[in-house]
Structure 1
Amino acid sequence: MTVENGTIATPLGFFADGKHCGLKRKKKDIGIIFSEKPAEAAAVYTMNQMQAAPIFITKDSLAANQTLQAIVVNSGVANACTGKRGLEDGFAMRALAAKHLGIADTDVAVASTGVIGDYLPMEKVEAGIASLDAKSGVSADFHEAILTTDTVQKELTLQAKIGGKTITISGVAKGSGMIHPNMATMLSFITTDAAVPAKLLQKLLKQKVDQTFNQITVDGDTSTNDMVVVMANGCAGNTAFSEGTPEFATFTKMFYAVCQHLAKSIARDGEGATKLIEAQVKGATSKEDARMIAKQIVSSSLVKTAMFGEDANWGRIICAIGYSGGRFSPDNITIRIGETVILEKSETAAYNPDVLADYLQKENILIEVNLHSGLEAGTAWGCDLSYDYVKINACYRT
């Protein structure tokens, strides 16, 4: 069940707040998530080798005992490529949040997003952290505080009865540009009041990130700061989940639904985007091939611009399939856009161009590919590439 007006603090035992401290001109730019008790925690990070200071800080916190009690986040300044001073500032940010909350430094994760190469103005960060009211703040303000070029907040809260207990999962994300995971600039935070052992939580997170966040693209750029962190504090009172049980299977479905919703929301909110493009590939010889091919289709600049121009140029789609690195038979591919088959077993199909033209005016575009080579399937999400993408990024620092 979807919880209307849910926030990252809807699960029992969680609190959140967001404030403006001056890193951005007017909008909220610093926020915190706090659990009333230490939570089992897991995280995945960007695969970009130029990793920002907060990545190292959060890894250090989780290395202590794989639990967290808080996450402090700023937007406007990425604290990336800032050398020794950046690390010192990141550790100072962690210490300030810990002192403010009365918890250990290593119980705090740190995340940042914004302009690369700028130093954090620590006097503003310190004042901002001091202003955060973790236990009685406006939790929805945290959602705003993590945004940069995003045009909408990305959030979902789900609830279900599992093992006789009401379990809640909430997720929030930011991301609009510099999105091309492994990981997708993207940050996401997930909270749940379920009891989940840290090792199982890490395995679940990695698996579902591969199926969702790592299957989206906006512009082909992988950020220095990408991070997904999940906290499970057990306040729902359930017996800790075990792998292979019906209870964990139900929880897994909820967790996947939250991750998929956030991932698709990021793709739809791509900078300057007007359409969400979903590529579904089936008939592949492996899940890896299916995901690889689907992601290559939504990554193609030529496919993205064709969708913006509402042009059913299937040659661009099959070209992307061809250089994807996936295995398939080149003479047995079927492509469908919406309900219209445009390629049948690698030959042009007869179709009504007016019907397809009407479909391409929609905001959500589905491209289906059948490779007729196996039984596996995969899905990826992206957006079209518009004139506004260039304008937004040409003026990003001004």
Structure 2
Amino acid sequence: MSRSSRSRGRLAAAAALTTALTATACGGGTTTDGSSNDDPKTLTYWASNQGPSVEADKKILTPELKKFEKKTGIKVKLEVIPWDSLLDRILAATSSGQGPDVLNIGNTWSSSLQSSGGLLPWTKKNFEKIGGRDRFEPSAVAAAGAKGEPPSAVPLYSLSYALYYNKEMFEEAGIDGPPKTWKEFDATAKKLTSDGRYGVAVEGGNPVENAHHAFIFAKQHGADFFDAEGNPTFDKPGNVKGVKQYIDLLANDKVAAPGNAEYAQNQTIKDVATGKAAMMLWQAAGSTLKPLGMKEDEYGVAPIPVREGQQDAVNSMVAGINIAVFENTDNHDGALEFVKFMTSDAEQKILNKTYGSIPPVKPAQQDAAFAKPEQKILREVLSNTSDPLPQVPDESQFETLVGTAMKELFADAAAGRTVTEEAVKQRLTKAQQQMQK
């Protein structure tokens, strides 16, 4: 599918989210080829891409799924889905009735998908079947649906954004440590941009990543993308400034490569691991840097910079991956048993260690692996300087529309077209108008 047709498909699917999902929330119980899945000894599972590639995730998850099969007799059919197509797939599955039994969702989509009625509500009774709600960090559960309603999913991996940097490139350039402010960041990135190498890499072709950074940068400019009533305010001055600041890494500052405008499959991580770029703003990247040949002592981790004079400013969203069950799965008991397995203390330690994330299950956090420098930074950011994305039904449309507008702005910049503040405002205004239709 071409870039333009993919964008139109995403926008159409997101615009129809509430009405289409509410009308046709016939959930899972089918395989990805549309055949019925009423076999109690078989489950289908859509996992989000957490590692350096889809194939890497299959290698990580397959042995764990075999453990589950040996323990319960239930076979799990796995499909790992990249982030740039995951929301599309979920929306299509819910509206068509052809989807998995169990799936991963970004925690930012929880309220949007919750409003559809397509996901199993995690009532007290359902939580008791997997060991109880008290096992989970309250902040992680709070990011699993609208306040006052049963969560639409269960926390699986907790994450926050941080600045990752290539230590060797810093040393070669005579840079002592990571930047703490954006002024320092700009100077550092420019110093590191030369001879075909760049100061930073960004995933400009990934709408979800773009929207996350829009939220963070706009917060530092004192703005929000929704007002207190949940109405979109995309083109407020602070949002425009925040989005332009991020786009300018490629457009104006030229510290990111033009090719980054098309990055949507974790190429950013490979560029840092191979020395093509010195820095990136990423979630729990250690687990993906290592398979690419970068040792733990070869990369550094620090909080994302803030503007000059700011203290305790937001520099991450409350990030994480949740595991959900389609409401109308034909294998309800097996699906709950699988969620119980994936959120067990033992599996939480294994999976979160592998992915470099933080276990949302409290007993699993006591493992020494989660006291390492990278995890320490992530936990501090998550606890002290992160804000949740708006828990409103239209949140997933925000990610699609604003993220796609930014993708288009990155494409303009890569093509040599000037990206002005007015151009950013026009794209955000258009995105806001599409939300209101």
For this structure pair, what is the TM-score category when the shorter chain's length is used for normalisation?
under 0.3
Higher helix share: 2
Higher strand share: 1
Q: TM-score, normalised by structure 1?
A: 0.26
Whose RCO is larger (CA < 8 A, sep 6+)?
2
Q: TM-score, normalised by structure 2?
A: 0.24
